[in-house]
Amino acid sequence: VQLQASGGGLVQPGGSLRLSCGSSRNTLDYYAIGWFRQDPGEEREFVAAIDKNGVSTLYQDSVKGRFTISRDNAKDTVYLQMNSLKPEDTATYYCARARGTTAVRDAGIYDLWGQGTQVTVSS
């Protein structure tokens, strides 16, 4: 099983992007899914997570009110809508599948990672 993140790109400050995360075997709907990001030389940091049913979500404080995580289990896809983007949001974004069904922040709970998609916020 592989995860694939897509939707990254170059956007001006204040702009929006929507990232998507899909799987190669239509298995996302059994698990909680998280989004993380990483800059070169920095540790990977938690961004957002959503539980199996799409009812419970978690966000990093710096993205609350700007990012929204959602999922469409019929399409086996998880989304990260990013609005009001800032230069400090620039990073490679990864989606990951948790071992269970509950949304969590701890990267150690995630056992399957996508390849990442680059988001660059710059004027």
Residue 27 has pLDDT above 80, yes or no: no
Residue 106 has pLDDT above 90, yes or no: yes
CA Rg value for the chain: 13
What are the backbone angles phi and psi of residue 7, rounded to the nearest 5°?
105, 0
Residue 24: per-residue pLDDT:
80
CA-wise closest residue to 55 among 109, 5, 101, 3: 101
Average pLDDT over residues 13-35: 91
Cα–Cα distance measured from residue 27 to residue 110, given in angstroms and rounded to the nearest whole number: 14
* Average pLDDT along the chain: 94
Q: What is the pLDDT of residues 39-80, one digit of tens each?
A: 988 999 999 999 999 999 999 999 999 999 999 999 999 999
Instruction: Collect all residues with Cβ–Cβ distance below 8 Å to 22 and sequence separation of at least 6.
Output: 3, 4, 6, 28, 75, 76, 77, 78
What are the backbone angles phi and psi of residue 17, rounded to the nearest 5°?
-145, 155
Residue 40: per-residue pLDDT:
85
The enclosing H or E element of 81 equals strand 77-82
Evaluate whether 19 touches 82 at the Cβ level (below 8 Å): yes
Evaluate whether 84 touches 14 at the Cβ level (below 8 Å): yes
Residue 25 has pLDDT above 90, yes or no: no
